[in-house]
Structure 1
Amino acid sequence: MASRRNGTLYLGVTSDLIARIHQHRNGLVDGFSKRYGCTRLVWFETHDDLQEARRRELHMKKWKRDWKLELIEADNPQWRDLYETLF
């Protein structure tokens, strides 16, 4: 999730991406993403195993910001909000 292009980034794990994005977009989740306006889905990846997804999240949270930006821009160079592509 991002606040805007090259803005604040939020990284998390969920078992229901559509519901979680809805919560973020509508300010229903208190915390970092609400405080910094992270409402745009600019990148995501899926995993079959929740534990694997959590390991990936923890690993990525240690990444430098530049690495995260490169990952986003490799698949979404325009920083489009990908929420609508989920339907």
Structure 2
Amino acid sequence: MYKSCVVRGFTEKYNVSKLVYFDSTDDVKAAITREKQIKGCTRGKKIDLIESINPEWDDLSEIFNN
């Protein structure tokens, strides 16, 4: 379902096909704050963040398919 391309939007526009990083929280305000923090980072810092938890850049969407 996650890679079926049935929902138009960001992933379709930018041809995104792998999930390499994610955060989770039950607090909506914390999630929005975190998203703004990450969006404000340089590309290099984003790459460092990804590689700190997923050094091989594996597709983490498989976690959600089980």
Fold equivalence (TM over 0.5): yes
Query: What is the Cα deviation at residue 29 of structure 1?
Result: 3.0
Q: Does 1:72 align with 2:50?
A: yes
Over alpha carbons, which structure has the higher Rg? 2
The structure with higher relative contact order (CA 8 Å, sep 6+) is: 2
Q: Does 1:43 align with 2:28?
A: no
* Higher deviation after alignment, 28-37 or 58-67: 28-37
- Taking only the aligned residue pairs, the percentage that are identical comes to 37
2:12 aligned residue: 34
CA distance in 1 between counterparts of 2:8 and 2:40 reads 23
* Higher deviation after alignment, 28-37 or 61-70: 28-37
Query: What is the Cα deviation at residue 64 of structure 1?
Result: 0.3
1:59 aligned residue: 37
Gaps of 5+ in 2: none
Query: What is the Cα deviation at residue 33 of structure 1?
Result: 2.0
Gaps of 5+ in 1: 1-18
Q: How many aligned residue pairs are there?
A: 65
Residue identity in the other structure for 1:84: E
Query: What is the Cα deviation at residue 58 of structure 1?
Result: 1.4
> Which runs of structure 1 show a deviation greater than 6 angstroms over 4 or more consecutive aligned residues?
none
